Each structure stands twice: as C-alpha cells, then as structure tokens.
Structure 1
Amino acid sequence: MRGLAAELPTGVWDEFCRLGIAQNADPGRILLRQGETADHVVVLLSGRVKITLVDRDGRAIVLAVRGPGEVLGEIAMLDGATRSASVTAIDPCRVRVVPVPVFLQTLRLLNVEDVLVRHTLRRLRESEQLRLELTTLPARQRVHRALVRLAVPAVAGAGPVDIGLTQAEFGEAVGLKRSSVASMLAEFRDAGLISTRRGRIVVVDMPRLCALSVE
C-alpha cells in the first residue's frame, strides 16, 4: 500500500477502511469539488483519482494523481476552509465517504493526528515544488518530471502505467501547449520509455525514466 496508508501504524488503515459509507465511483465522477465546504473526507480503497485546480483564467490544471491508500479532502478538514481543488475518478474507484467529525474522532482515538498532519504538510511542500518547477525549469525537464510524478499505478507491481490523462490535460499540468508536449513526448516514445495510444500516455519503463538525466 502507498500514500498515507504506508505511514500509519499497523492496523490503522484497516480501521479507516471501515468508516463511513462505501461507494463505487465510475471514471469521471467528481468526488470532491473545489470551493465546496468540507463536511466529509474520502478514503480511497482502490483505483486512481486526479487532483485538479481551476486557476483564475478558468484552466483546469492537474496537480497530482493519487492511488489507493490516500485520504482525500484532508486539507480543508484540517484548516476549516473550502476545498482548494477537485478530485475526479480516473479509474473505477472504491471509496469510503466519512463525515469530518467521525474521521477527526477516529484520528484522536487511534492517536494518529500527527501522522496525518505530517503527510499533509509533505503534500503541500510537493505542491510548492511543483509551482516552482513550472516557473523555473526548462520545458523538457518539466515534461520528464511530470511523467515520473503522474505515473501512479492503480495496483501495486511493475509494468506499464497509463497515467490516466489526455495529452491536453498533461499539457496543462506542465504549462505547455499540446503541440509542444506532443513533440517532447515523441522523444520519450522514441527512446522506448513511453507509448502514446489514442491520446493517452503510458509509461512502459519506469526505472529507466526515473534514472534518465534530462537537460
């Protein structure tokens, strides 16, 4: 298990998986919506979701892809503000929808508030790093780092990973036009690191992609 689940003491994630109401989410379903009041969190049991922010110009920018083992909507739960981003299912997902008071009480009873806070702060630092990359790194490096960051497998294990985004969405994630992204993706494809199928991007050799030095 990845994400928050990997950081929790033994048995705690299993407790989270019994909270709230079980739901199935089809691809494209919005699980959490930017700007809404945070009255619940979502425990992601299976499948992947994308975290999307709509900026001032109305562009939907994909910030991250999350897989099983994550609690979604925790930032708004902790700071009491409205949701800062939307969460949309990429794959068929199984989730538990948990009211905020129930989840907070469970955190206290299991004495894991500090684990969640540290995990959330780490995610916020990642978001700040992403913003820095978008404004300082050359385009090719942005594309490379985004491929590594967004290639989150739906299940554990090696093998090709469909990042679950269209090339247009990927372009928004790295701040580039689709035509520019397409030419750079072609370089990675020719190197045998990715494939592009019907407008989607599939990472076929993650170890080599991670080890690649991009200027």
Structure 2
Amino acid sequence: MKQNRAVRSDAWDGGLSPAGTSSVYLQPHLALIRELAEPVRLFAGDYLYQEHDPADRLYFVNRGSLKVSKLLEDGSSATLSLHIPGDLFGEPDPFGRAVHQFEAKALEDSEVGIVPQAELDKVIRTNGDFAVEYMGWMALMQRTAQSKLRDLLLHGKSGALCSLLLRLYNMYGTSGTNKETRAIIGKRITNLEMAEMIGSTRESVNRILNELKDLGVISTERGRIVLNDPDYLRNICHCEDCPREICRM
C-alpha cells in the first residue's frame, strides 16, 4: 500500500450509503468485517494501492471516496469504479499470488478499513452464512462490471454517458431546493473525469452534454449537474432497471 501522508485512525464512525456494495451482508457480519479491518486515514491524492502491489487485502470505505483506475500507455487514465462509504472492494485472489492490475486513489480525505484476505478466509471456512454473503458480494461486483461493459460496448458514447449520469445520481443524488422534484448529482464531476469513466475524450463529453442541455434533458446548478428528464437518459442507454447497488460507477 502506497500512501503519501496516511496515518492510523483512532475512530471508526460514519454511516453507510444505501447503495454501498456491502449491503449484501447482514449487520452482524458487516460488524465482523469492520472488526477485522485496520482503519487507515488517507488524504486527498494518496494512493491506497498501486499497480503491482500484492492483491491480498479487501477494503471497506468508512468515510470519503476513492477511485480505481488504470494508467494507460499514452499517459491518460481510465476510471473503472468509484467507491463511497459502505463499499467493500478489492481484487480477491484464489491462488494467493496475484498483484493489483489497477490503482486506487483517495479523491478526498478518506478513511478506509483494510481487511487481510487471510483473516477473511478464516471466517469463510468457519461461518457458512458469511460465506454465502461473500459469494453474493462477489456476484454483485461481477454484475456491476458487466453492466458497465454492456453500456460501453452496445450503446455508443452517448448511451455510455447517459448511463453514467444515472449511475452518478444513484451514488451522489440529492433533492432539489425548490418545490419541483429534480434529480441533482450532488458531487461536482468534471467533463474530463466523466470522459475517463466511459473511455472517451473530454471533447466528446462536452459535445454530448451540450446536446443534452439544448434539449433540456440536463442543466447545471452551482457546478452540479441536474437531471431534468431522467427518462430520456434511460431511453438512450436502454436502461434495464438494475438495482441501485448495480447501477453505479
């Protein structure tokens, strides 16, 4: 694990996002994961892990947010996933000798619990109910990855971006400030960041977003994107009404 200024955390508090990937676990088993985890604080920009680090741990996000990405040969970056409070993520290795193929970086000051895979394996061998939930978590991670590939491969850049806007709303959505119900992505996301999430360029994202604005499908408010017509976005990306736990970045 590579960190610039990370320190051990003495506190372990904070709530869980309703769409957290740990939602497949019952509360007693989730408490067990948190008990096994070693809490570590990261500052914005710190690496939780980098490519070729041993992939022998899982990570539980207690506070803040992180992104998992791949550095490409041309120097650009491709974002594979975002992780928020309540998320359990990592690259489980059945053979005990894998290394990370991606890197995980804190997008803001964050607190992450580090769970050794060896300790988790002990629980899986002795607790059948926990093992079933662990398999459910792995299936959830697989289905989420498959849904992203579906959007990228089948529906073009416009479909992928429309899907991304819905996914970001599921993770960071807030209500409007007036009587009209609006879907607002509460986190500021730059066009370049969105381009990295769908394997496109900033110019292409700029063009598609401007087209959506001209149609009145989206607008911006204080730097945040407002989804005025989510149904239009769902139609473009051929939405299959996946659960929030799957329809996320």
TM-score norm. by structure 1 comes to 0.79
- Say whether the 8 Å CA contact 2:21–2:140 is kept in structure 1: no
Q: 1:82 to 1:197 in 2, by over 3 A?
A: farther
SS at match of 2:53: coil
Rounded Cα–Cα distance in structure 1 between residues aligned with 2:151 and 2:104: 22
2:30 to 3, 10, 13: 13
State whether structure 2 residue 218 is matched by structure 1 residue 193.
yes
State whether structure 2 residue 230 is matched by structure 1 residue 209.
yes
1:85 to 102, 114, 118: 102
Rounded Cα–Cα distance in structure 2 between residues aligned with 1:108 and 1:203: 46
SS at match of 2:40: strand
* Counterpart position of 2:136: 118
Q: 1:56 to 1:197 in 2, by over 3 A?
A: farther
- Cα displacement string for residues 88-145 of structure 1 (whole angstroms, at most 9, x for unaligned residues): 2223222112222122223444431232223223322332342343233232111101
- Cα displacement string for residues 64-101 of structure 1 (whole angstroms, at most 9, x for unaligned residues): 2222222221x334454222322222232221122221
- Say whether the 8 Å CA contact 2:24–2:133 is kept in structure 1: yes
Rounded Cα–Cα distance in structure 2 between residues aligned with 1:165 and 1:34: 25
Rounded Cα–Cα distance in structure 2 between residues aligned with 1:13 and 1:210: 35
User: Structure 1 residue runs of 4+, over 6 Å off?
Assistant: none
Rounded Cα–Cα distance in structure 2 between residues aligned with 1:89 and 1:95: 10
Rounded Cα–Cα distance in structure 2 between residues aligned with 1:192 and 1:210: 9
- Say whether the 8 Å CA contact 1:76–1:82 is kept in structure 2: no
1:161 to 177, 185, 194: 185
- Cα displacement string for residues 152-189 of structure 1 (whole angstroms, at most 9, x for unaligned residues): 546x8646334564321211222322112112122344
RMSD: 2.9
1:5-84 alignment runs, 5 A limit: 5-55=22-72, 58-73=75-90, 75-78=91-94, 80=96, 81-84=98-101
Instruction: Give the % identical residues.
Output: 19
Stretches of structure 2 lacking an aligned partner (at least 5 in a row): 1-17, 177-183, 238-249
* Counterpart position of 1:141: 159
Q: 1:140 to 1:63 in 2, by over 3 A?
A: same
Bigger Rg, structure 1 or 2: 2
1:179 to 193, 196, 203: 203
TM-score norm. by structure 2 comes to 0.70
Rounded Cα–Cα distance in structure 1 between residues aligned with 2:219 and 2:66: 21
How many residue pairs match? The answer is: 209
- Say whether the 8 Å CA contact 2:43–2:106 is kept in structure 1: yes
Offset at 1:196? Answer: 7.4
Q: 1:188 to 1:90 in 2, by over 3 A?
A: farther
Q: 1:211 to 1:119 in 2, by over 3 A?
A: farther
Deviates further, 64-73 or 159-168: 159-168
Offset at 1:13? Answer: 1.1
Rounded Cα–Cα distance in structure 1 between residues aligned with 2:165 and 2:92: 28
Stretches of structure 1 lacking an aligned partner (at least 5 in a row): none
